[in-house]
């Protein structure tokens, strides 16, 4: 929203009218939460993800949910007929949903100014081009300039613009990171193509927090919301197998229970393998070193595989204790008590450290029927009110978890 040179003057906050900052709620709860409470007028939102992950489907379902909102869907990827087929498959009920097959951004914007949609969707930015630029669609210059023009349109018209961007092999959206600076919000749609779960997260959001995630499941009827991710993430857990432990993490404001799996086996390599999926590699090496040094668990000559079930990536250390205990369980080949949930960060000395918001985590674990919850001792006080009649153990050394679990 560029100021008009020479026309602006300083204003007190009270003089600034922000009542126009209304949002359009998509009606898809998981989506609205990640957006920070709906779509902000005049914002430009990049939706990134691997090809085939479900970006177009998500946009289409948003359009379906916004029944009375006027939507213009511009596709440079699929023909209008293909889009109609997909819309029919998804049971499109929005009668004010229009499709435009066009890749020239200037033409797209001319059409948008005439059509006057409430929401504009561009699928995908890699197919768009500006005639004044020589390079091919998808190149850095084209992607940047096309986005800049769409940005201008969003800001001047107040129409929110969704821009789909495929993640390139280097892992960044639209190749260069430049786009992320231009747009207001960057949503990443993640998941394994071979798994049904899809996680939507905000990597950047000028209009909300970046901590929230939305969880979906891809089905033959499109993306389904998963309002209780814990149940899903734990659903395939097999009681009684070694190397499986449950922890409670926080994704934004929501606690999520998940299964940590470890497999420790004799190595046939000079450099034993360390394959970690869903958690920081170096942090995991630290945890293995702590186990070896503080508990005398000899794993330096073993291959260690660690996996966070369900395809989540965890970026908080509260899962440390669960990872360590999954490793011990697999190393000993003794299953951990399946009704136990572990929460705690581990320090280099083998001490168990407090985690933020223990109440929410413990509540979720109790809700899902876990009967024994192991938490950092330093967190016990905060849990005072919920410990009555419940088996909640506070520990301050990692070795104590081993004694309690096995």
What does each C-alpha distance from 399 to 1, 200, 249, 291, 332 come to in angstroms?
A: 57, 37, 22, 9, 14
- Closer to ligand TYD by Cβ: residue 224 or 386: 224
**Binding residues vs ligand TYD (CB under 6 A):** 49, 51-57, 86, 89-90, 218, 220-222
Identify what 49 binds: Mg ion, ligand TYD, none; CB under 5 to 8 Å per kind. Answer: ligand TYD
| List 26, 40, 43, 56, residue binding Mg ion (CB under 5 A) | 56
Residue number with CB closer to Mg ion (196 or 378): 196
Q: Least distance in Å: CB of 112 to Mg ion?
A: 20
Q: What angle do CA 400, 247, 343 make, to 5 degrees?
A: 45
Q: Residue 316's binding partner, choosing from Mg ion, ligand TYD, none, with beta-carbon cut-off 5 to 8 A by kind?
A: none
CB closer to ligand TYD, 90 vs 360: 90
Q: Which is nearer to Mg ion, 56 or 379 (CB)?
A: 56
Nearer to Mg ion, 40 or 56 (CB): 56
| φ, ψ (nearest 5 deg) of residue 112 | -65, -40
- How far is 74 from 81, CA to CA, in rounded Å? 13
Nearest to 90, CA basis, from 225, 219, 227 = 219
Q: Which stretch binds Mg ion (CB under 5 A): 1-9, 55-63, 278-286, 298-306?
A: 55-63
**Residue 222 binding: pick among ligand TYD, Mg ion, none (C-beta 5-8 Å cut-off by kind):** ligand TYD
Report in angstroms how near the CB of residue 194 gets to ligand TYD at its nearest: 11
* d(C-alpha 157, C-alpha 188), whole Å: 26
- 259: preceding bond cis by omega (within 30 degrees): no
And the tokens for 3?
């100021």
CB of 54 to ligand TYD, least distance (A): 4
The partner in contact with residue 52, picked from ligand TYD, Mg ion, none with C-beta cut-offs of 5 to 8 angstroms by kind, is ligand TYD
Residues 6 or more apart whose Cβ sits within 8 Å of residue 406 = 328, 329, 332, 334, 336
Q: Which two tokens stand for residue 274?
A: 């360390």
CB of 137 to Mg ion, least distance (A): 15
Block residue for tokens 């659903």: 235
Contact positions vs Mg ion (CB under 5 A): 56
């Amino acid at each position: 929203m560029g100021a008009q040179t020479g026309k602006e003057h300083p204003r007190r906050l009270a003089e600034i009218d922000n009542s126009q900052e209304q949002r359009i709620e998509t009606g898809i709860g998981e989506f609205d939460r990640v957006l920070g409470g709906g779509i902000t007028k005049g914002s430009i939102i990049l939706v990134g993800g691997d090809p085939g992950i479900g970006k177009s489907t998500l946009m289409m379902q948003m359009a379906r949910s916004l029944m009375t909102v006027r939507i213009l869907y511009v596709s440079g990827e699929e023909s209008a007929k293909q889009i109609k087929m997909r819309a029919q498959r998804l049971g499109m009920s929005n009668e004010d949903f229009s499709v435009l097959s066009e890749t020239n951004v200037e033409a797209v914007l001319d059409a948008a100014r005439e059509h006057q949609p409430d929401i504009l969707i561009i699928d995908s930015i890699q197919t768009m081009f500006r005639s004044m630029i020589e390079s091919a669609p998808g190149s850095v210059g084209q992607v940047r300039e096309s986005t800049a023009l769409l940005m201008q349109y969003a800001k001047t018209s107040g129409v929110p613009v969704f821009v789909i961007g495929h993640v390139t092999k280097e892992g960044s959206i639209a190749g260069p990171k430049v786009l992320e600076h231009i747009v207001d919000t960057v949503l990443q749609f993640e998941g394994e193509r071979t798994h049904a779960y899809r996680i939507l997260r905000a990597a950047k959001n000028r209009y909300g927090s970046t901590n929230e995630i939305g969880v979906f499941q891809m089905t033959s009827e499109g993306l389904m919301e998963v309002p209780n991710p814990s149940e899903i993430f734990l659903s395939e857990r097999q009681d009684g197998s070694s190397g499986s432990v449950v922890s409670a993490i926080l994704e934004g404001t929501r606690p999520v229970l998940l299964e940590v799996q470890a497999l420790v086996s004799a190595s046939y390599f000079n450099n034993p393998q360390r394959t970690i999926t869903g958690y920081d590699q170096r942090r995991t090496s630290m945890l293995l070193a702590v186990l070896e040094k503080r508990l005398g668990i000899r794993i330096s000559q073993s291959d260690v595989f660690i996996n966070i079930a369900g395809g989540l990536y965890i970026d908080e250390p509260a899962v440390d204790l669960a990872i360590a205990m999954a490793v011990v369980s697999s190393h000993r080949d003794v299953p951990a008590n399946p009704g136990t949930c572990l929460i705690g960060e581990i320090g280099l000395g083998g001490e168990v450290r407090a985690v933020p918001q223990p109440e929410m985590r413990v509540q979720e674990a109790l809700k899902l029927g876990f009967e024994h919850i192991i938490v950092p001792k330093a967190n016990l006080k905060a849990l005072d009110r919920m410990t009555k009649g419940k088996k909640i153990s506070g520990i301050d050394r990692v070795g104590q978890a081993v004694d309690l679990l096995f």
